[in-house]
Amino acid sequence: MAKVKTAFFCSNCGYESAKWLGKCPSCGTWNTFVEEVISKPSVKKENGWDDYHEETKSIRTIPLNSITSSEQVRITTSDAELNRVLGGGIVPGSIVLIAGEPGIGKSTLFLQNGLQLQNKTVLYISGEESEQQIKMRADRLNIKNDNFYLLTETVTQTIFQEIKKLKPHLVIVDSIQTIQSPYIDSSPGSISQIRESAAEFQRFAKETNTPVFLIGHITKDGSIAGPKILEHMVDTVLQFEGDRHYAYRILRTIKNRFGSTSELGIYEMTGAGMRGVNNPSEILMTPKEDRLSGIAIAATIEGMRPLLIEVQALVTQSVYGTPQRTVSGFDLRRLQLLLAVLEKKGGFHFGVKDVFLNIAGGLKVEDPSIDLAVLCALLSSYEDVPLPQHVCFAGEVGLSGEVRAVHRVEQRIAEAEKLGFEKIIVSRYGQKSIGKQSGNIEVIPMGRVEEVYQYLFQ
């Protein structure tokens, strides 16, 4: 009788070893290796997809120059936000991983998108919920589609038999952690099962040119459960973020072989499903009748989309020996850099102050153009003086206190003008890229942090 083959996997990064190791050679973590059965003493049968379509891929070596390059026709959904984060639509033969916290709305979003594809045959595979549960959610969405099919199954062999019968144009798997391969003798959700199940769906997607969406879970620390194995195997990784207690959700691109990795889509959770937010700048800025200190508006760029977001700062006297630095949606080290610039160039004593910074709307901003708005919000809270109304900021702050130019400033100015801002403060060194502005907004160039302070508070 053949011996059962086992291996040890790192539960943090997926590194495989023939024996148990105390420290993972790949990620350096300790005591993360677990033993799993990776094969049974039986002959493994491969799924053949020769009869799936009339046109099948022939395995042969060909010269690169003989291949004709052509733009691949994407499947355009009725969801403009999903099209944006995917780079223009669903690429045939692609495999997309969607990860997010439990209850954030992953299943609702992709059930909704599957139902909206009226002219395509869609197969929704659920390993977590029954037919009745999914039917109740579909009734709440109130979208009718005769080409939408449902399969509640967890074994890959049975799933691919049904796929051969139906031949769908799109496959949605909810979730990959519940799917198991009969050729791997371990529990669903284990590293070996996730790797084998994802590999079978990847092979199906590439050989049949059928796009596959894999919905995945995340761990307590926010990383995709799997762990990194799934991210390396798929073409696109989307992160669905947001607080379950708030209405807005953010679909962010982490990896994309067919488009930009800096795109994001914003949704609003409603009783009838997810609604795409076409103008997110209006929801990221809180309309206020009273002028409040510590609030500044930044003109940023996320992917190809200009956004105006609200930066909130609170500076108070420290009651502890070490002052606190608390941020939400911003880099803590970047905040410390800006505080050091204000200490050195402006003489402000932030070393005895507690500083709290928040990016409104739950966004995580990495655009350096937000520096100037953060700095002005800190000064406004420090002086307890509100900033002038209808003024926004777009500029990076250097270590010597200079206001540096940022890219695509024309789009930022146009977005600010569209939302009714009267003035925008930008870098003096980016004047050549601004050009002539034909609008009602006044562009104010600044070169130093000291100039900005004098303009706003003196």
CATH (domain of 359): 3.30.230.10
**124 within some domain:** yes
**Res. 277: pLDDT tops 70:** yes
What DSSP string runs through 360-372?
GGG-----GGGHH
Residue 128 and residue 186 share a domain: yes
For residues 99 and 184, membership in a common domain is answered with yes
Kindly state whether residue 438 falls inside one of the protein's structural domains: yes
Q: What is the CATH number of the domain that holds 177?
A: 3.40.50.300
* Model confidence, pTM: 0.76
- Do 104 and 184 lie in one domain? The reply is yes
Looking at the fold, whether 265 and 306 belong to one and the same domain comes out as no
Is residue 271 marked as binding? no
pLDDT tens by residue, 47-103: 666 666 655 555 678 888 887 766 678 899 999 999 989 988 999 999 999 988 888
* Separation CA 365–CA 345 (nearest Å): 25
At 327-385, the pLDDT tens digits run 998 999 999 999 999 999 888 989 899 999 999 877 788 889 999 999 999 999 999 99
Residues 292 and 271 placed together within one structural domain of the fold: no
> Contact 265/81 with Cβ under 8 angstroms?
yes
447 is in an annotated binding site: no
Distance between CA atoms of 289 and 160, rounded to whole angstroms? 59
Q: Is 59 within the bounds of a domain?
A: no
Question: In terms of domains, do 289 and 273 share one?
Answer: no
Q: Are 338 and 265 in the same domain? A: no
Q: Does residue 114 belong to any structural domain of this protein?
A: yes
The number of angstroms, rounded, from the C-alpha of 427 to the middle of its chain's C-alpha atoms is: 30
Q: Is residue 63 part of a domain?
A: no
Average of per-residue pLDDT across 227-246: 80
What is the pLDDT, as a whole number, of residue 43? 46
Q: If you search the block for the tokens 């509100």, which residue do you land on?
A: 386
Q: How many CB atoms lie within 10 A of CB 84?
A: 22
The answer as to whether 45 is a domain residue is: no
- Give me the domain span that covers residue 16: 5-39
**Residue 96 contacts residue 212 (beta carbons within 8 Å):** yes
Domain-terminating residue out of 230, 260, 277: 277
Domain boundary among 222, 253, 277: 277
> Measured in whole angstroms, how far is the alpha carbon of residue 184 from the centre of its chain?
32
Contact residues for 331 (Cβ-Cβ < 8 A; gap 6+): 366
Number of domains in the chain: 3
297 annotated as belonging to a binding site for a ligand: no
Q: Assess if residue 317 is contained within a domain.
A: yes
Residue linked to tokens 């519940």: 178
Name the β-bridge partners of 340: none
Residue-wise pLDDT for 419-439, tens only, equals 888 999 999 987 665 655 556
451 is in an annotated binding site: no
My answer on whether 89 and 232 are in the same domain is: yes
To the question of whether residue 102 is assigned a binding role by annotation, the answer is yes
Same domain, 174 and 316: no
- Angle, helix 131-141 to helix 106-116, in steps of 10 degrees: 70
- 314 with 224, same domain? no
Stretch 130-156: mean pLDDT: 92
Same domain, 80 and 202: yes
Nearest to 326 by CA among 352, 366, 356: 356
> Does any domain span residue 58?
no
Chosen domain end from 277, 311, 329: 277
107 marked among binding-site residues:
yes
- Whether residues 346 and 242 share a domain: the answer is no
Q: How far apart are CA 243 and CA 262, in angstroms?
A: 21
pLDDT at 40 over 60: no
